[in-house]
Amino acid sequence: MILEYGFKNFFSFKEMSTISFRFDSNVPSFISKDKEASSLIGIKGGNASGKTNIIKALTFLSYFINSSSNMKPEDTLPIKSFFDDKSSPSEFYIDFKIKETYYKYELSISSGKVVSEKLSKKVKKMLPFIERNYDEITYSRKDLAHLKEIKLNSNASFVSTFSKFKTFSELEDLSTIYGFFDTVLSNVSPASGLLSKNVDYREISQLYGQDSKIFGFAKELIKKSDVGVLDISISEDTNEKGQPYFYPVFHHTHEGKNFSLKYADESSGTKQLYIFLALYWLVLEQGGVLALDEFDVHLHSLLLPGILNMFEDENINKLGAQFIFTSHNTEIIDTLGKYRTVLVNKEENESYCYRLDEIPGSIIRNDRPISPIYIKGKIGGVPRI
């Protein structure tokens, strides 16, 4: 699970900003359920305040740690500093826990190249076990000493680089960390932002067609959400190159007659659910992390608490999956409460964020709705109208 992550000099964020899932001793047990970290974090803020960049930072970390070695050595890493500020590096860190082991990953990048990289592990206390400066491994645990001989590219992480070797599975900590970040799913690109319009429904249809369990899960929720859908089936055809592809058929009924609609003819909300229910399922099944920008677009507000409850219900979320998302829905703050809501503001084109329980005083309480004071602009995170 992610405990917290932070980033600095990254897109619209100049100073270090932290997104914390942690529950401390101040969080009531009826909220924390005696868990160390939340399964949910909701991000709210005005348009262009920087909400997407918070998701983008996590997506970039996941991409860099696991997949950056797929880039060509001359390629530039897909990030931007605050107004192209090259006077200081962009910095990232993420604290996470895999089973009962705590890890910390730290990264510094300047002009698209790695300045430093460090992985630490907590035994009695948090200690580094592999460190890098520029393209050289400068410190490693004794059992990892042979990794110092491996050539590193300036745009690739050491985890991603080492993963290309046949013996990678023998590097227990590194392969475990690789597996953790492999379960981070998102609809946001590290560089360009929201990807939902590019999600191919035919790939999702192939997944549904191959797995009746996940298809049954999605189909039942869509039928509950769209009262006009009687059933959904998956069909197969071939494209102009003779390659097979899959597509859904939505079955409806009217006055005793059956009608079928193509994916393109369905409502935006139904299409949104069709795509993203597959991601919800995969993350819940793997105990991974789902990071979605604008997850509530085209969905009725009454559906949103039910989706969030999948991550709160231990009978459904048996492996501790986490969900971090941005939303324009206001009432969702009351569902999340102050310990699971992050607000984003922007002043003079610089973004900053805070979790609601960081606001001092008693203006936000656990026994009353937060949305009324949010709407009045008393706690920030609202557009200037």
In this predicted model, what pLDDT tens digit does every residue of 304-313 receive, in sequence order? 888 899 999 9
Query: HSE on the CB side for 315, CA within 13 Å?
Result: 1
Cα–Cα distance between 329 and 42 in angstroms, integer? 10
Per-residue pLDDT band for 194 (boundaries 50, 70, 90) equals very low
β-pairing verdict for 257-262 and 289-292: unpaired
Contact present, 246 and 209 (Cβ < 8 Å): yes
pLDDT at position 192: 57
DSSP class of residue 190?
Answer: T
Cα–Cα distance between 137 and 212 in angstroms, integer? 46
Question: Which phi and psi (to 5°) does residue 190 adopt?
Answer: -60, -25
Alpha carbon separation from 2 to 94, 168, 384 (Å, rounded): 7, 23, 33
Per-residue pLDDT band for 199 (boundaries 50, 70, 90) equals low
- pLDDT above 50: residue 126: yes
pLDDT at position 193: 52
- pLDDT above 70: residue 198: no
- Per-residue pLDDT averaged across 69-96, rounded? 92
β-pairing verdict for 40-45 and 341-347: parallel
pLDDT at position 11: 94
Q: Please state the pTM of the whole predicted model.
A: 0.91
Q: Of the segments 67-76, 126-135, 193-202, which one has the largest average pLDDT value? A: 126-135
List strands edge to edge, sheet with 244-254: 231-238, 244-254, 257-262
- pLDDT above 90: residue 10: yes
Alpha helices in 136-289 (DSSP H): 158-162, 172-181, 201-210, 212-225, 268-286
Q: What is the CA radius of gyration of the chain?
A: 22
Alpha carbon separation from 76 to 64, 80, 109, 273 (Å, rounded): 12, 10, 11, 35
Identify the residue with better confidence: 269 or 39: 39
Cα–Cα distance between 32 and 65 in angstroms, integer? 30
Per-residue pLDDT band for 191 (boundaries 50, 70, 90) equals low
| Bridge partners, residue 261, by sequence | 250
- pLDDT above 90: residue 215: yes
pLDDT at position 197: 43
pLDDT at position 196: 44
Domains of the chain in start order, with CATH, are: 2-183+287-375 (3.40.50.300), 198-272 (no CATH)
